Structure 1
Amino acid sequence: MSSRPAAMFKNLPASRILKQIERLNLIAGTPENAFKFQPNVKSIELFLLKAPVQGPHIGLKRFWRQNLPTLQFHNPDVDFIMTRIKVEDKADLKKVPARVVISGEGESKVLNCLEKSQQQILNELVELTGATSIPIEEIPIISKPDSH
């Protein structure tokens, strides 16, 4: 396991307590990245290249690191599945799917994520699932303690 922090957790305070508060607030998200899926969405499966992730797969990796924790937080009834695919040589890279499979009651939808940015993936996932933005007043925020 890498000791490098995820991109979502860069530039955090040095204090352990303040760092944890900041991490929790980042996971809770904002109305721009916090969404609630419709009740018919049962699972979201990501198919992602195992390290090193590069080129056309990078948008899905960034989505996984930065957006998935927030979506998981606001959708506890949805199963989130991560399928990592390992390739032996560079020739196999083009064969690896970068996709998200959305499974619901009796149907599945596939979101092709090759050559897409993390924001494009989030936007398309929201559209395909009919997800709704969480209002700011419903997003839990932990206040930082006064430093006296």
Structure 2
Amino acid sequence: MSTSMFKGLPTTRNGRQIARLNALVSGPGALKTPDNLRAMKLIFKLDNKYGHMGARKFWRTHAPVIQYHNPNLQILVTRIETNTDEEAIKVPAKMVLEYDESSGMKPVEIDIKSKMSDEILELFRSAAKATEVPAEDIPVFTTQKNQK
């Protein structure tokens, strides 16, 4: 197996798995959302053209970390397939934050078209009023050598 697709990861299978687990629970997406935030909906195109790359990168890199730290938050993704460039240009890229009905808050819609994934994360953080997870609450996975 070529290790070029795993640049920066250890070469052993267990080492790669541990590195991936650590990446899943830490990083910029390690945010805690308010309890009244019920769902985050992401809507973007199936392919990356016309400003949808950042939305896809956000979904792949930051959304799993957000989901780990907020297990009750529903993350719903709708990817729209288009047949022509004219259709593709018209497709929005947006994030919708939905709150519990009892909180009285209305859904918040954020335009994420032509934005980088880190910029989308900051828009999410401010709109959702999310806070960083303290470092002591983030698990760190390691190997246990010489275990008997």
**TM-based fold match above 0.5:** yes
**Which among 32, 39, 46 is matched to residue 42 of structure 2?**
46
Q: How many residues align?
A: 138
Q: Which of the two has higher C-alpha Rg?
A: 2
SS class of match (2:139): coil
- Whole-Å Cα distance in 1 between the matches of residues 111 and 144 of structure 2? 43
The answer to whether the 8 Å contact 2:29/2:63 transfers is: no
Q: Which amino acid aligns with 2:40?
A: I
2:108 counterpart residue number = 109
Q: Which amino acid aligns with 2:68?
A: F
2:59 counterpart residue number = 64
Q: Which amino acid aligns with 1:97?
A: P
SS class of match (2:51): helix
Q: Percent identity?
A: 30
Q: Which amino acid aligns with 1:38?
A: P
TM-score (norm 1): 0.86
2:71 counterpart residue number = 76
Unaligned runs of 5+ in 2: none
1:18 counterpart residue number = 15
Alignment of 1:83-102 (within 5 A): 83-102=78-97
Aligned residues: CA RMSD: 1.8
- Whole-Å Cα distance in 1 between the matches of residues 49 and 10 of structure 2? 29
- Whole-Å Cα distance in 2 between the matches of residues 146 and 90 of structure 1? 55
1:3 counterpart residue number = none
Unaligned runs of 5+ in 1: 1-6
Q: Which amino acid aligns with 2:137?
A: E
- Whole-Å Cα distance in 1 between the matches of residues 136 and 68 of structure 2? 16
